[in-house]
């Protein structure tokens, strides 16, 4: 990680110039550039994707890794901290509002949702049901394992670890380790300031 931060510091002036230029373009054009370079490998792809994300996000820190084929939408409703990794093939929807803190890692194929259909209504089909926006929060230092799904309206607490393939449907306590479908607490990180407790199921519902 330190090598990545050192590299970012060296190229930050050039990236800042690209961000400045992008902000002069219409938002739709910036999204188009992001789509055009979505699969571009290597430093060029990483640099352009970072510049696009920074120019589009409501707020965005330094040293953001956006992997190839990661899809991030409605960035104008997203706040991203520093030293964040969004790995390859992630799908991050920000329409309902998304906050990603510092030093967060989203491993390959993670899905983050901030909206869902109002499935309680029987008078309309599911595809026509209105969307319900629920702000989602991933706090500082959290790590979300490959293929996990973070559902709308939950908070992944500071320093928490979400196991690969987990489906998180309720908020995750700080410094806990969760896994499974639905996700449940299976342990606590060593030295956690959070009082350990017996594993609890994180079932359906919001926060």
Distances (CA, A) of 152 to 2, 44, 71, 116, 169: 32, 33, 17, 7, 8
Q: Note if 189 is an active site residue.
A: no
Q: Are 89 and 77 in contact (CB under 8 A)?
A: no
Structure tokens at 1: 């990680």
Structure tokens at 46: 């990483």
From the candidates 68, 108, 116, 117, which is the catalytic residue? 117
3-state secondary structure of 40: coil
Token pair 């259909």 is found at 117
**Count of Cβ atoms closer than 10 Å to residue 148 Cβ:** 25
Token pair 């990603």 is found at 100
**Count of Cβ atoms closer than 10 Å to residue 160 Cβ:** 27
In whole angstroms, what is the distance from residue 27 CA to residue 74 CA?
Answer: 11
Give me the residues paired with residue 116 across strands: 132
Q: Are 162 and 178 in contact (CB under 8 A)?
A: yes
Which residues have a catalytic role annotated?
117
């Amino acid at each position: 990680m330190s090598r990545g931060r050192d590299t970012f510091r060296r190229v930050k002036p050039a990236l800042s110039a690209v961000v400045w230029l992008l902000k002069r373009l219409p938002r739709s054009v910036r999204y188009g550039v992001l789509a055009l370079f979505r699969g571009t490998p290597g430093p060029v792809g990483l640099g352009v994707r970072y510049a696009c994300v920074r120019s589009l996000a409501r707020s965005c820190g330094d040293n953001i890794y956006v992997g190839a084929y990661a899809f991030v939408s409605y960035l104008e409703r997203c706040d991203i901290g520093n030293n964040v990794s969004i790995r390859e093939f992630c799908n991050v929807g920000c329409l309902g509002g998304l906050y990603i803190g510092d030093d967060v890692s989203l491993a390959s194929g993670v899905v983050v949702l901030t909206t869902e259909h109002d499935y309680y209504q029987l008078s309309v089909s599911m595809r026509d049901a209105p969307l319900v926006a629920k702000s989602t929060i991933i706090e500082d230092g959290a790590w979300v394992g490959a293929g996990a799904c973070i559902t709308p309206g939950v908070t992944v607490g500071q320093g928490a670890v979400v196991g690969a393939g987990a489906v998180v449907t309720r908020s995750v306590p700080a410094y806990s380790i969760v896994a499974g479908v639905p996700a449940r607490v299976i342990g606590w990180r060593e030295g956690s300031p959070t009082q350990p407790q017996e594993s609890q199921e994180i079932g359906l519902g919001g926060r």
